């Protein structure tokens, strides 16, 4: 899609262009992860994070009855750092690793190339569609995946609802505008009364489609979806759209294709969607509690043995970034969606 002059487009299509256009999209033309990028994700802060996710994955596999064959699917693997460390951990559990089909779902050819360079393991399959996943138990990992999927926004004013659009003038100047909609038509399409007790709505149609497809796979073939992302659990939705350019907050309408555009996940909305699916259960906690319950402190103590003072200080500084309430510990949430009969509580 091209940003045409004298044209109006929905917010989600504008974001999709900014992030995923083949020629100009942020994720399609650059590696935004790490020190040189605009942000650093948990796997790039400390390998302890990825080790804890590996421990959780093995435990959850055991709760599935340790199937001889299953799929482990990472959704949007960034620069591949998390899966790299997870595989290093899995090698200590050969029966698990032999049973595991590792799959990465990634849209960006540039990031796929980066992942293939970073991960030293031949038995990985990259897929662009989840339809290609075979009928086995599936464990899905979504670390900072859903926040990067384009969102729509709707505003209520005097009992009327409006969708947020981007207006592009003849001079290619951009501004937010709104267009009146029938909210009942949207809710009929969603089969969900999304406007109930709301004055503002923010949700991702593509993200919702991903979620529903994954839930259908889990319900049919057993398994689970682990979501780790920054977000909130309040019933009231709010405007959380933000843009990052050169490590600083930026205007969403500026630096097109050069900024990361994200939103905070409304986990309450996800929870309501899950309730529409029979035989599925939800567990929910903060990243701090999740990692602490998995033993991240104890693991840090173990790897600190025989380290210098400076090395120990660096390990615990990075650990603090992951679990401190003033950093990632509180704002990042962890949600597990699984079959009701699976009683696994590891991490929760």
* 224 pLDDT tier (thresholds 50, 70, 90): very high
Other CB atoms closer than 10 Å to residue 226's CB: what's the count? 21
pLDDT the model gives residue 245:
86
Task: Measure Cα distances from 295 to 299, 319, 348 in Å.
Answer: 6, 12, 12
Enumerate residues 6+ apart whose C-beta is below 8 A from 116.
80, 126
Angle at CA of residue 188, ends 186 and 189, nearest 5°? 65
pLDDT tens digits for 260-299? 999 999 999 999 999 989 899 999 999 999 999 999 999 9
* 2 pLDDT tier (thresholds 50, 70, 90): low
pLDDT tens digits for 198-216? 999 999 999 999 999 999 9
| Whole-angstrom distance, CA of residue 125 vs CA of residue 4 | 37
pLDDT of 35 strictly over 80: no
The DSSP bridge partners found for residue 39 are 33
- How much is the average pLDDT of 29-43? 72
pLDDT tens digits for 320-343? 999 999 999 999 999 999 999 999
Residue 300: what are its φ and ψ, rounded to 5°?
A: -60, -40
Is-contact 217 138, C-beta < 8 A?
yes
Length reported for the chain = 348
pLDDT of 1 strictly over 60: no
Average pLDDT, the chain: 92
pLDDT the model gives residue 302:
93
pLDDT of 166 strictly over 60: yes
| Whole-angstrom distance, CA of residue 88 vs CA of residue 53 | 12
Walk me through the domains of the chain, giving residue ranges and CATH numbers: 21-152+205-339 (3.40.50.12710)
pLDDT the model gives residue 200:
97
| Whole-angstrom distance, CA of residue 146 vs CA of residue 225 | 12
Chain Cα centroid distance, residue 175? 28
pLDDT the model gives residue 36:
62
Residue 145, H or E segment: none
Angle at CA of residue 63, ends 57 and 65, nearest 5°? 110
pLDDT tens digits for 236-247? 999 999 998 887
- b vs e for 100-119, b when ≥16 Cβ sit within 10 Å of the residue's Cβ? bbbbbbbebeebbebbeeeb
Could you give the percent of the chain with pLDDT greater than 90? 78
DSSP designation for 341:
T
pLDDT of 345 strictly over 90: yes
pLDDT the model gives residue 131:
84
Q: 306 or 95: which carries more pLDDT confidence?
A: 95
pLDDT of 66 strictly over 80: yes
**Single pTM value for the model:** 0.93
pLDDT tens digits for 24-33? 888 888 776 6
Residue 122, H or E segment: none
Angle at CA of residue 13, ends 275 and 144, nearest 5°? 50
pLDDT tens digits for 123-161? 999 998 898 787 899 999 999 999 999 999 999 999 999
DSSP designation for 222:
-
Angle at CA of residue 146, ends 287 and 201, nearest 5°? 105
Could you give the percent of the chain with pLDDT greater than 70? 97
- How much is the average pLDDT of 5-21? 89
| Whole-angstrom distance, CA of residue 181 vs CA of residue 190 | 15
| Whole-angstrom distance, CA of residue 244 vs CA of residue 240 | 13
Range with the lowest mean pLDDT among 87-101, 245-259, 288-302?
245-259
3-class DSSP state of 203: strand
- How much is the average pLDDT of 98-106? 96
């Amino acid at each position: 899609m091209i940003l045409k002059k004298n044209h109006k487009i929905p917010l989600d299509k504008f974001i999709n262009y900014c992030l995923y256009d083949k020629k100009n999209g942020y994720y399609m033309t650059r590696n935004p992860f790490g020190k040189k990028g605009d942000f650093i994700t948990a796997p790039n802060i400390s390998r302890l994070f990825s080790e804890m996710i590996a421990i959780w994955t093995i435990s959850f596999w055991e709760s599935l009855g340790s199937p001889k064959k299953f799929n482990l699917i990472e959704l949007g693997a960034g620069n591949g750092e998390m899966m790299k460390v997870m595989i290093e951990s899995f090698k200590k559990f050969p029966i698990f690793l032999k049973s595991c089909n590792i799959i990465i779902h990634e849209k960006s050819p540039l990031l796929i190339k980066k992942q293939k360079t970073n991960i030293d393991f031949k038995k990985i399959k990259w897929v662009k569609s989840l339809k290609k996943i075979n009928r086995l138990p599936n464990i899905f990992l979504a670390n900072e995946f859903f926040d990067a999927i384009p969102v729509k926004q709707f505003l209520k004013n005097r009992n009327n609802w409006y969708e947020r659009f981007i207006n592009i003038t003849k001079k290619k100047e951009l501004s937010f505008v709104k267009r009146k909609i029938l909210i009942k038509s949207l809710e009929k399409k969603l089969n969900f009364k999304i406007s109930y007790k709301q004055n503002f709505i923010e949700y991702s149609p593509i993200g919702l489609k991903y979620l529903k497809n994954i839930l259908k796979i889990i319900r049919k073939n057993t398994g689970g979806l682990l979501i780790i992302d920054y977000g909130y659990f309040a019933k009231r939705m709010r405007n959380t759209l933000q843009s990052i350019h050169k490590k600083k907050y930026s205007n969403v309408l500026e630096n097109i294709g050069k900024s990361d555009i994200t939103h905070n996940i409304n986990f309450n909305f996800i929870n309501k969607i899950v309730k529409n699916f029979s035989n599925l259960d939800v567990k929910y906690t903060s990243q701090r509690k999740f990692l602490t319950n998995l033993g991240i402190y104890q693991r840090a103590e173990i790897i600190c043995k025989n380290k210098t003072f400076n090395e120990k200080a660096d390990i615990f500084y990075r650990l603090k970034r992951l679990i401190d309430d003033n950093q990632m510990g509180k704002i990042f949430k962890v949600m597990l969606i699984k079959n009701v009969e699976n009683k696994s509580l590891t991490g929760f």
